Amino acid sequence: MDTRVRLKSFDGTIRGPANIPPNEDYWRLIGSTGTVAGIR
């Protein structure tokens, strides 16, 4: 069963480091919705 969620923080924080490369800036996903897929 898949569950819809909204990301509230990443790695326990709401802001990432200032010098993080754009391809590793997961904090910009905060506020986005997604689906948690079950592990098979």
Which of the 8 DSSP states describes residue 26?
G
CA distance 26 to 34: 13
- Looking at the chain, the whole-number percentage of residues with pLDDT higher than 70 is 92
Q: How confident is the model at residue 39 (pLDDT cuts 50, 70, 90)?
A: low
CA distance 25 to 17: 9
Q: How confident is the model at residue 34 (pLDDT cuts 50, 70, 90)?
A: very high
User: Is residue 32 classed as helix, strand or coil in its secondary structure?
Assistant: coil
Query: Residue 15: its pLDDT value, please?
Result: 94
pLDDT digits (tens, 9 = 90+) for 16-32: 999 999 999 999 999 99
- Looking at the chain, the whole-number percentage of residues with pLDDT higher than 90 is 78
> What tokens were used for 36?
């948690």
CA 4, 31, 20, 16 torsion: positive or negative? negative
Query: Residue 1: its pLDDT value, please?
Result: 62
